[in-house]
Amino acid sequence: MKRHLLLACLSAVALAVVALSPAVASAWAPASQATVHPGVMVFTNGAQCTSNFVFTDASNVYLGQAAHCSSTGGQTSTDGCNTGSLPIGTPVDVTGASRPGTLVYNSWLTMQGRGETDANTCAYNDLALIKLDPADVGSVNPSVPGFGGPTGVGAAGGTGSTVYSYGNSELRGGVTKLSPKQGVVAQNTGGGWSHTVYTVTPGIPGDSGSGFLNASGQAIGVLSTLQVAPVAGSNGVGDLGKEIAYMHANSSFSGVQLAPGTQPFNANLAGAILGA
């Protein structure tokens, strides 16, 4: 009887482990060999963006991008509560993946579906998830190229705080040494929903959606807009913590979490450039 109980317990544990896969870190490809990772380019109906971070739940692996990357509005249409978007289920081409991913969450569509009216939330909640095909999960590593991390989700900090990012627009012609960026927070706006940051090499078209890290390697935001004020070449970064909290509270993706990187965080721009 005890033997049967033991076998039953072991079977339950095995099932739990299977249910957690591939979210466990042991399932990740080595960072040096992974073809899908934060910073790879994603193409939604031809529109290019840079992915930000890897996310997981008990069953799936997702790649984050900005919600506006699937927008059907003009370039100046940035209010997520009244700008059209491609539907959930839209295929998304992911650089480094063998098969297209699928758009499964979009903060703009979620806000429109629930009738969101808060102006700051409408203006700055800019996160989408691409579900990766199971065939490509073994090619994924959640580490940010060059910098390593993320070490978790954190805060941007006050004015002057150091930030790091990795933009991978095709306009750079594949020169990855230009992708790692370091900068500072210029101001926090929108009731904490947005952070204006200035980087030495500013974001360019195609960098939209890329992730930002703070000085501790924590994921803090998603590049949403390229701005000319208050500093020319500054970037508008949506607050990732708020975006994730909104997703958890208002969608079926309450179990989705940021996947921490397997590589230690490197707060050194020169080292990141050499390692990119």
Question: What is the structure's pLDDT at 276?
Answer: 57
Question: What is the structure's pLDDT at 11?
Answer: 39
Question: What is the structure's pLDDT at 229?
Answer: 46
Question: What is the structure's pLDDT at 22?
Answer: 46
Say whether 120 sits in a helix, a strand or coil. helix
Say whether 20 sits in a helix, a strand or coil. helix
pLDDT in tens, 179-213: 688 899 999 999 999 999 988 655 555 578 899 99
- Say how far apart CA 78 and CA 1 lie, in whole Å: 64
Query: Angle, nearest 10°, between helix axes 107-114 and 240-250?
Result: 50
- Say how far apart CA 211 and CA 125 lie, in whole Å: 14
Residues of the chain with pLDDT under 70: 1-26, 75-76, 167-179, 200-206, 226-233, 269-276
Nearest to residue 38, comparing CAs of 130, 161, 166, 134? 166
pTM confidence score:
0.86
Say whether 154 sits in a helix, a strand or coil. coil
Domain ranges of the chain: 32-139
Question: 32-139, what's its fold?
Answer: Thrombin, subunit H (2.40.10)
Q: Is 27 exposed, middle or buried (0-12, 13-18, 19+ CB in 10 A)?
A: middle
Cβ atoms of 128 and 70 within 8 Å: the answer is: yes
> Torsion angle of alpha carbons 74, 104, 192, 82, nearest 10°?
40
Q: Provide the edge-to-edge strand list for the sheet that holds 41-44.
A: 47-50, 41-44, 91-94, 101-106, 128-131, 61-65, 54-56, 257-258
Distances in Å between the Cα of 241 and the Cα atoms of 7, 35, 44, 125, 126 are 42, 27, 24, 10, 12
Enumerate residues 6+ apart whose C-beta is below 8 A from 34: 28, 96, 139, 140, 141, 143
- Say how far apart CA 189 and CA 213 lie, in whole Å: 18
Question: What is the structure's pLDDT at 275?
Answer: 63
Question: What is the structure's pLDDT at 245?
Answer: 98
